[in-house]
Amino acid sequence: MADFKVTPWEVEGKIDYEKLVKEFGTKRMDARLKAKLEKLAGGSHVFLRRNFFFSHRDLDLVLKDYESGKGFFLYTGRSPAGAMTLAHLISFLFTKWLQEKFKVNAYLQIPDEEKFLFKQKLSWEEVQERTKEDIAHIAALGFDENRTFLFQNSEYVKNFYPVLMKTAKKINFSNAKAIFGFNEQSNIGMMFYPALQIVPTFFEKKRCLIPCGIDQDNYWRPQRDIAESLGFYKTAAIHSAFFPPLTGPEGKMSSSIAESAIFLSDDEKTVANKINKYAFSGGQATVEEHRRLGGNPDIDVAFQWLYILFEDDDRKIEKIREQYMSGKMLTGELKQILIEKINAFLKEHNRKKEKAGKIVEKMKYSGKLAKEMWGRTI
């Protein structure tokens, strides 16, 4: 029995990623594949260098297709419900980087029915309100406006309806139940939903690469069973580990537990308060002890956040690690570094978000790819 749990809806306990890869049947990103990806990309990314994206399906084949000139495309998404946190940016940031490096199309799905169907008390109207906000956050990240198509299912459904129905016809209740854990009380919208999340993998007759959290891998397992019978490729994926919640190095950050998360809308003071108050520390109980024994960066959430996302200078992060471990740097000082980094990031992010209206319009409707997509029925 594993003492951790990973489903698309729940992540609990201390994750054994080695075990997870075996259980899910994905592959570790080995050194050779990573090097090849970096070589073809002409650069690296902090998520790769620090092994935060650690697992994949068919990434080797994607790179082969890229080398042969056939190309590939990117797909990721965001299901609106609660407010967006830093963790929600991970897949988007990596997708954006891959797009920039490989000059490929990216499809950003906003499944604005999912959480409505899965959460009893959430209304359609609340989700729609949330959706606008989320899209503005995504637009602030700077995707290539002419190579990106951002779409809400409720708006674009007509265009993908034929392939949606073809997908739904191939998945039966017992498949869906085995993978998603549906039961007699599940509503028929939930049971249908997996088809909606699969559909974007069929937007091009090339291999699709999905950057996502490893917990989302489930959703595309039926895709790999049915894709070829529909004349498409099995989708590839590149999986990240979980962005740790403020409250400790286990589980994942969740927008439904406010003290576990930094929201993109948090102001400077809130960020400082949350980090100081909740960020789980690997430091010692007293300053004296800390000076003597040093801190443990492996369980220190402030250090982890710097390592994964906020300090991409390799020399600087190693210096922080060293100083923290040696006791030279105190927990409060470490937290202060993170607070400044987060606040600088959020300030810039929200400045871009305020001006994102035109970008949203391009990614949704009038950019080169968006225009093409609105003219297609798939």
Question: Quick count: other Cβ atoms within 10 Å of Cβ 90?
Answer: 23
Structure tokens at 121: 């008390």
For Cα atoms 117, 118, 122, give the angle at the middle one, nearest 5 degrees: 75
Rounded CA separation 234/58 (Å):
9
Q: Which is nearer to a copy of itself, 37 or 163 (CB)?
A: 163
Our CB check for a copy of itself shows the closer of 59 and 164 to be: 164
Least gap, CB of 112 to a copy of itself (angstroms):
9
CB nearer a copy of itself, residue 53 or residue 180: 180
Least distance (Å) between residue 166 CB and a copy of itself = 6
Cα–Cα distances in Å, from 63 out to 100, 239, 334?
15, 16, 39
Contact, 131 vs 151, CB < 8 A?
Answer: no
- Give, as one character, the DSSP assignment of residue 213: E
Rounded to the nearest whole angstrom, what is the least distance from the CB of residue 245 to a copy of itself in the complex?
A: 29
> Least separation, in Å, of the C-beta of 301 and a copy of itself?
37
Question: Toward a copy of itself, which CB reaches closer, 65 or 114?
Answer: 114
Nearer to a copy of itself among residue 62 and residue 110 (C-beta): 110
Give the integer Cα–Cα distance in Å for 37 and 31.
10
Question: Measured from the CB of residue 18, what is the shortest distance to a copy of itself in angstroms?
Answer: 33
Binding site residues, a copy of itself, CB under 8 A: 113, 116-117, 124, 153-158, 161-162, 165-166, 168-174, 176-177, 182-189, 191-192, 194-195
Pair 207, 233: CB distance under 8 Å: yes
Burial of 352 (0-12, 13-18, 19+ CB in 10 A): middle
Shortest spacing between CB 188 and a copy of itself, in angstroms: 5
Compare residues 194 and 295 and give the one whose CB is closer to a copy of itself: 194
Amino acid at 370: A
Query: Smaller CB distance to a copy of itself: residue 178 or 344?
Result: 178
Q: For residue 268, what are its two tokens?
A: 């400077």
Specify the amino acid at residue 338.
L
Integer Cα distance of 140 and 113 in angstroms: 23
Give burial (CB, 10 Å; 0-12/13-18/19+) of 225. Answer: middle
Q: Output 24 or 192, the one with its CB closest to a copy of itself.
A: 192
Q: Min. distance of Cβ 45 from a copy of itself in angstroms?
A: 37
Q: How far is the CB of 165 from a copy of itself (least distance, A)?
A: 5
